[in-house]
Amino acid sequence: MRLSALVVSLALGVLLIPAGPSLAGESKILEYDAQGRVKGIKRVETKDGRQDYGFRKFDPENSFEEGELIVINPPRNFLGTIRLMGFSLMERVRLTELNLEVQRLRIPAGMNVPRARTLLRGRFPGLSIDANHVFDPSAGVSEKSVARNAIGWRKATPNCGAGVKLGMVDAGVDLEHPALKGQKIVFRSFHKKGRKPGPNVHGTAVAAMLVGKPEWGGLLPGAELMAANMFEINESGRKVGNAVAFLKAINWMAKEKVHVVNLSVAGADNKVLRRVFKSAQKKGLVMVAAAGNWGRGSKPAYPAAYKDVVAVTAFGREKLVYARANRGSYIDFAAPGVRIYTAVPGGGGRFQSGTSFATPYLSALIGLEVAHRGKKKSSVLRRIFRKNTTDMGAPGKDKVFGWGFVNLQPRCPG
């Protein structure tokens, strides 16, 4: 049955109907000074003639917490053995909803993370051991087009999305922002004890896209949002979102039984996190992730590249792919992600670009489908949405746009 033919209870306030996009224009990337004032525009011509807007290069495999490893479900003799090798236990994380335990380890003094990982994997073959990788918010700042306008969805009523429970693992959220104050949001931070939580710019933007008030273009303003912060400020002053905080947040999402989890973050293929994701998916957790903003030649971005995660890329004016979007066979769908006017902490807003800002569209649509039709595997959801896509690149599925733009929207009665 085609998704556009769904009839949804008026009490829930939504149904899905076909609708074409009204796309925002491709934008320039603005540079800001310390006071937040625009100081100029940075543009660099790429080899294929497209403009690249000066994003920093993120190296997922080599971005991790120094001096730490993580391991999942170690055997009984594990701690006694590793102590003799110079390792020590920093934290024990019990993921009760997923029936898993993760241990955070301090590696021996003078040893680097890759060497320590190789040493432990050799001593405990078959055990999932990895670095405590850090993750990148999949966003970049750009130059008014709120989320609903950017995709061509009609303005929502305040109850649009009632009955849908969304999850979000991201940065902090400004709950006092006019777009979010009074909305149904439960916020928890999973930053490390002794560190400050990271800035809430990215999380505020994504939360407002998902459940912001109608005047701010929120996609499902009547939905409930469980928002988890995984970012913190480390000892050197750098913002990081590490794997331990990520897996704690996923465990919370499973406990809350959300209909979908929006993941506008990207990083390495961490073996421990991969195992946690598989367990979460067996529990029925549906996850949608940003394709990544590292450029066309980059490695796949995770969690988007995991088999059972729906991956979303971004496009802008004239259906051109976002200049810094990752490419790869793991891309499933495309949505607007260039020059989206987003909420920022303190009450205002600004235009931003990135695959982060394309992901909420699919999260909203999938959240509706799961809430109204029951739990589904990602493979089933892909088949449902493929029937309602507009092909944007090479015929069929391609490495740039996946299956293309999902030509659906939630319409709210009244």
Gap between the Cα atoms of 401 and 312, Å rounded: 8
- From first to last of the 414 residues of the chain, give the pLDDT tens digit: 333 333 223 233 333 434 444 333 333 333 334 333 334 434 433 333 333 333 445 677 778 889 999 999 999 899 999 999 999 999 999 999 999 999 999 999 999 999 999 999 999 999 999 999 888 775 544 435 788 888 988 888 999 999 999 999 999 999 999 999 999 999 999 998 888 988 899 999 999 999 999 999 999 999 999 999 999 988 888 888 888 999 999 999 999 999 999 998 888 899 999 999 999 999 899 999 999 988 766 689 999 999 999 999 999 877 899 989 999 999 999 999 999 999 999 999 999 999 999 999 999 999 999 999 887 888 999 999 999 999 998 889 999 999 999 988 886 643
pLDDT of residue 411: 66
**In the prediction, which pLDDT does 247 show?**
93
d(CA 8, CA 30): 42
256: CB partners within 8 A, 6+ apart: 165, 167, 186, 226
Domains of the chain listed by start with CATH number: 3-58+136-411 (3.40.50.200), 64-133 (3.30.70)
Quickly tell me which residue has 């598989």 as its tokens.
278
Helices 201-211 and 359-373 pack at an angle, to 10 degrees, of: 50
**pLDDT value at residue 298:** 67
Say if CB 44 and CB 52 are below 8 A apart: yes
**Residue written as token pair 């092909």:** 391
Q: How many CB atoms are closer than 10 A to CB 155?
A: 14
Q: How far is CA 194 from the centre of its chain?
A: 25
CB contact at 8 A, 360 and 147: yes
Q: Is 96 left (phi over 0), alpha (psi -120 to 50) or beta?
A: alpha
DSSP 8-state secondary structure symbol assigned to residue 5: G
Q: For residue 137, give the 3-state DSSP assignment.
A: strand
Question: How many residues in total does the chain contain?
Answer: 414
Closest CA to 198 of 288, 135, 272, 256: 135
**In whole angstroms, what is the distance from residue 145 CA to residue 349 CA?**
11
What's the gap between Cα 163 and its chain centre?
A: 22
CA 374 from centroid of its chain's CA atoms: 22
Which segments of 257-407 does DSSP mark as H helices, in order? 271-282, 359-373, 378-386
232, 383 contact by CB (below 8 A): no
Residue 265: which residues within 8 A CB-CB, separation 6 or more? Answer: 135, 136, 137, 138, 169, 170, 230, 241, 246, 289, 290, 303, 356
Q: Specify the 3-state DSSP secondary structure of 369.
A: helix
DSSP, collapsed to helix, strand or coil, labels residue 367 as helix
What angle do the packed helices 271-282 and 243-256 form, to 10 degrees?
0
Cα-to-chain-centroid distance, residue 322: 17
| 8 Cβ neighbours under 8 A, 6+ residues apart | 14, 15, 16, 368, 372
95 strand-pairing partners: 100
Residues ≥6 apart with Cβ < 8 Å to 395: none
Among candidate residues 191, 302, 202, the one with its CA nearest the CA of residue 245: 191
DSSP string, 260-288: EEEE-EEB---HHHHHHHHHHHHTT--EE
Phi, psi (deg, nearest 5) at residue 50: -80, 160
Q: Which residue has the tokens 């898993």?
A: 100
pLDDT of the residue at 234? 84
DSSP state, residue 297: T
